[in-house]
Amino acid sequence: MILTEFDYVRPAGLDEALTLLSGTRGARILAGGQSLLPDLRAGADRAALLVDIRRLEELRGVTRTPDGTGLRIGSLTTLAELAADPLVLAEAPELAAAARANGDPQVRNLGTVGGNLAAAGRATDLPVAAMAADAEVELAGPGGRSTLAAEELAAGSAPAATVLTALLVPAAGPAAAFEKTADRATRYPVCATAVRITPGGPRIAVTGATSRPLRLRGVEDRLRGGPYGTDAVLAAFRAEPRELFVPGRGTSAEYLGHLVGVLTARALQRAERALDR
Ligand X SMILES: Cc1cc2nc3c(=O)[nH]c(=O)nc-3n(C[C@H](O)[C@H](O)[C@H](O)COP(=O)(O)OP(=O)(O)OC[C@H]3O[C@@H](n4cnc5c(N)ncnc54)[C@H](O)[C@@H]3O)c2cc1C
Least distance CB 218 / ligand X (angstroms): 25
User: Are 160 and 154 contacting, i.e. CB atoms less than 8 angstroms apart?
Assistant: no
Contact residue for ligand X among 18, 21, 35, 169 (CB under 6 A): 35
Residues 85-114 that bind ligand X (CB under 6 A): 102-103, 107, 110-112, 114
Residue 141 engages ligand X in binding (rule: CB under 6 A) = no
The region, left, alpha or beta by phi > 0 then psi within -120 to 50, assigned to residue 157 is beta
Amino acid at 91: E
Out of 40, 77, 116, 130, which residue is the one contacting ligand X (CB under 6 A)?
116
Looking at the Cβ atoms of 21 and 223, the one nearer to ligand X is: 21
Judged by CB under 6 A, which of 21, 34, 85, 215 binds ligand X?
Answer: 34
Q: Between 20 and 175, whose beta carbon lies closer to ligand X? A: 20
Q: Which residue of 10, 28, 72, 258 would you call a contact of ligand X, by CB under 6 A?
A: 28
| 164 contributes a contact to ligand X by CB under 6 A | yes
Q: Smallest distance from the beta carbon of 223 to ligand X, in angstroms?
A: 26
